[in-house]
Amino acid sequence: MLAETRQSPALAAILATSQEVRPIDVTQAAAQGDQAARALLQRTSVLLGGTLATLVSFYNPAELVLGGGIVRAKEHVLDTIREAIRRRALPLATQNLRIDVAALPEELSGVTGAVHLALDEVFSAASLETWLAAGSPRMPAAQ
């Protein structure tokens, strides 16, 4: 929309040559000082932070690691995301919350997150009871 309405000269130029504006293009335009691209990243950060605040309030994690394309835009979005989370989440949930970006390459961060979720399930209180009773972490087969 910014490119089509020419609110962003940088994104309009990209759209004219490639017929597509990618998230990385918005990040690069913002880094080059494009005010419309910066405003878009700012608004996106507020919305993302608000959504994450709901999840933080519900799950109360010790750490929140952001991955994917957001890592490339971190200098434009991370502080705003942090602020939105702290402003909208329950204070108890954000008291000791660490918010950072993934250190792994983008293509590995999703897999790593999935492994952490699986480990959390295997070592949950309910799973440990089953594990200890069975003498093995192997879960019983589904009936």
120 in any annotated domain: yes
Asked if 63 and 81 sit in the same domain, the reply is: yes
Please state the rounded mean pLDDT for residues 20-25.
86
CATH of the domain at 72: 3.30.420.40
* Alpha-helical runs (H) found in 1-143: 9-18, 23-31, 35-59, 74-88, 91-94, 106-122, 125-134
Do 37 and 84 lie in one domain? The reply is: yes
Higher-scoring residue by pLDDT: 65, 106: 65
Q: Residue 132: inside a domain, yes or no? A: yes
Name the domain count of the chain.
2
- pTM, to two decimals: 0.71
In a 3-state reduction of DSSP, which class is residue 63? strand
Can you give the residue range of the structural domain that contains 95?
9-103
Do residue 82 and residue 115 come from a single domain? no
For the stretch 128-139, what's the b/e string if a residue is b when 16 or more beta carbons lie within 10 angstroms of its beta carbon? Answer: eeebeeeeeeee
pLDDT digits (tens, 9 = 90+) for 56-67: 999 999 999 888
Of residues 6 and 115, more confidently modeled: 115
Residue 5 has pLDDT above 70, yes or no: no
- What is the CB neighbour count within 10 angstroms for residue 76? 20
Mean predicted confidence (pLDDT) in 39-52: 95
Assess whether pLDDT exceeds 70 at residue 110. no
My answer on whether 61 and 125 are in the same domain is: no
CA angle, 49 as apex, 110 and 19 as ends, to 5°?
A: 70
Residues 75 and 56 grouped into a single domain: yes
Position 73 scores a pLDDT of: 87
More confident residue, 9 or 94: 94
pLDDT score, position 88 = 97
Per-residue model confidence as pLDDT tens digits over 61-103: 999 988 877 778 889 999 999 999 999 999 999 999 999 888 7
Q: In the prediction, which pLDDT does 3 show?
A: 46
Are residues 28 and 65 both part of a single domain? Answer: yes
